[in-house]
A and B are shown apart, each in its own frame.
Chain A
Amino acid sequence: QSVLTQPPSASGTPGQRVTISCSGSSSNIGSNSVNWYQQFPGTAPKLLIYTNNQRPSGVPDRFSGSKSGTSASLAISGLQSEDEADYYCAAWDDSLNGLWVFGGGTRLTVL
């Protein structure tokens, strides 16, 4: 029931490239930038990507983001075991008086 749609799970082996999709609509992703957050169990989310494709200081360049139309993607290259976490996309939604909306989250498993 999340406004932004993400696959519930994704997986890959060490060294692989994995992508996680985030689908929205014209009122959110279609007209606003997308952020991605990484969350390990029992901890707070951490900003991973902002404004579609920008990395905060300290985030490895193995993580990259892109946006096209009403969809966005997070790519992780050179997958490592420590990347196993939940990933959430987020965007501002212009409907009503506006609100921040999140995807339902994708659990990434490193096999």
Chain B
Amino acid sequence: QVQLQESGPGVVKPSETLSLTCSVSVGSMSGYYWSWIRQPPGKGLEWIGYMFHRGSTSMSYSGSTNYNPSLKSRVFISVDSSKSQFSLTLRSVTAADTAVYYCARYCSGGTCYGYYFDYWGQGTLVTVSS
């Protein structure tokens, strides 16, 4: 059973940077995409992006990420498998970025027999306010 847990500040000031970490309880992070999804209060789900961890190194920085085009200029996702964690950075936040942020594992092809988000964290509310 894979468990994920988000952590980070609950309040961020406008124009500043939102940073969240997701801790993963799993033997290995390699071979999967690690994703962030958010949900504004009372609204639907919005995919932020994900990063694939190949497993050859403890850090995955580039070449294997995909971001929502509407957020791409402000978002960065990284994976640190040595700590069993992955992170979200969202720059220049506004009130529109107020949401519950979920981390999730994305299962893609192969033995997944499909493409879907199968394990989710409990979510953490981030409010953008001065």
A-side residues, CB < 8 A to B, are 2, 32-33, 35, 37, 43-47, 50-51, 54, 56, 88, 90, 92, 96-105
B6 to nearest A CB, angstroms?
A: 10
User: Within the assembled complex, what's the spacing in Å between the Cα atoms of A64 and B26?
Assistant: 30
* Chain B count of residues within 8 A CB distance of the other chain: 19
Q: Which of chain B's residues have a CB closer than 8 A to the CB of A35?
A: 114-117
Question: With A45-B120, A50-B116 as given contacts, are A103 and B47 in contact (CB-CB < 8 Å)?
Answer: no
- Collect the chain A residues with CB atoms within 8 Å of residue B46's CB: 102
> Closest CB of chain A to B116's CB: distance in Å?
4
Closest to A6 in B: B44
Collect the chain A residues with CB atoms within 8 Å of residue B113's CB.
50-51, 54
Q: Do B44 and A47 have beta carbons less than 8 Å apart?
A: no
Q: Are A44 and B44 in contact (CB under 8 A)?
A: no
Q: Is B122 an interface residue (CB 8 A)?
A: yes
Which residue on B lies nearest to A35, using beta carbons? B116
- The distance from the CB of B45 to the nearest CB of chain A, in whole angstroms, is 4
Are B45 and A88 in touch, CB under 8 angstroms?
yes
Interchain CB contact under 8 A, B117 and A47: yes
